[in-house]
Amino acid sequence: MPMGVAVTGNIGSGKSTAVKFFAELGVPTLDTDRIGHELLESDARIRAAIAKIFGGGIVKEDQIDRRKLGELVFNNEEKRVKLESLLHPAIMATVSERASEFADKKYVIVEVPLLYEAELADKFDYVILVKADEKEAVARASVKLGIEREEVLRRLDTQIHQSEKEKLADFVIANNGSQEDLRAKVVLLHSVISSLKPDRD
């Protein structure tokens, strides 16, 4: 079983770009958001459980209305916790299953945007935090997501502050420069991680 290395970071930090650079180096990568979306589409039991919690109106043509679901949980802590308790075990089981397919690899990168918020850090051997200055991050996220600056700031407010995550992560990549600068940092970190042994609690 390869080591599991989580990549996380607040909105606009550039974590997805960092993950892409790891993939270019031949490291297998998984995306928990994508896996979550796949489970919502493919797992009838999960859809039924979500409909039970949030009401039948959340299901359209046998599919979960993800936008409506997001609106329901965004400002409702109780509902968000219920959704996470339902989805996270299934997502992590899928991560483990897919990671096991790369037995010949030293490690697998798993993108987990809300790693610390969801208390999933202990599921991984190491954690990489990609960080960026707030001004830079907000500008990036606004362009990438096509939303106003105020909306980006509102989303940032729901995440644990970057400085707190820095204290918890095993590795921190500062991403305030060019993509080539970020790529160089990923290449260097890849060589470091490739020499490590598993360190899961």
* Domain residue ranges of the chain, discontinuous segments joined by +: 1-28+106-201, 35-104
Supply 49's token pair. Answer: 């459980």
Q: What single-letter amino acid sits at 92?
A: M
Asked whether 108 and 32 are in contact (CB, 8 A), the reply is: no
Radius of gyration of the chain (CA): 17
Q: Whole-number mean pLDDT of the chain?
A: 90
Q: Range with the lowest mean pLDDT among 56-70, 78-92, 124-138?
A: 56-70
For residue 141, the number of C-alpha atoms closer than 13 Å in the C-beta half-sphere is: 23
DSSP 3-state of 26: coil
Q: Range with the lowest mean pLDDT among 14-28, 144-158, 182-196?
A: 144-158
- Give the helix ranges, DSSP H, for the chain: 15-24, 32-42, 44-54, 66-74, 77-99, 134-145, 149-157, 162-168, 179-193
Q: Range with the lowest mean pLDDT among 2-6, 65-69, 98-102, 159-163?
A: 65-69
Strands 59-60 and 29-31: unpaired
Q: What is the pLDDT of residue 152?
A: 84
- Say whether pLDDT at 61 is over 80: no
CA distance between the termini of the chain: 16
Q: pTM (2 decimals)?
A: 0.90
CA distance 58 to 66: 8
CA distance 152 to 135: 11
Same fold yes or no, 1-28+106-201 and 35-104: yes
Q: What is the pLDDT of residue 201?
A: 53
CATH 3.40.50.1820 fits 35-104, yes or no: no
- Cα–Cα distances (Å) from 119 to 70, 81, 113, 160, 195, in that order, read 20, 12, 11, 11, 27
- Taking the CA atoms of residue 184, residue 187, residue 193 and residue 194 in that order, the dihedral angle to the nearest 10 degrees is -160
Q: What is the pLDDT of residue 189?
A: 97
Q: What is the mean pLDDT of residues 131-149?
A: 86
CA distance 145 to 195: 36
- Of the two residues 79 and 105, the one the predictor is more confident about is 105
CA distance 193 to 189: 6
Q: Indicate the class that CATH gives domain 1-28+106-201.
A: alpha beta
- Say whether pLDDT at 65 is over 60: yes
- Cα–Cα distances (Å) from 166 to 11, 80, 171, 186, in that order, read 15, 25, 8, 17
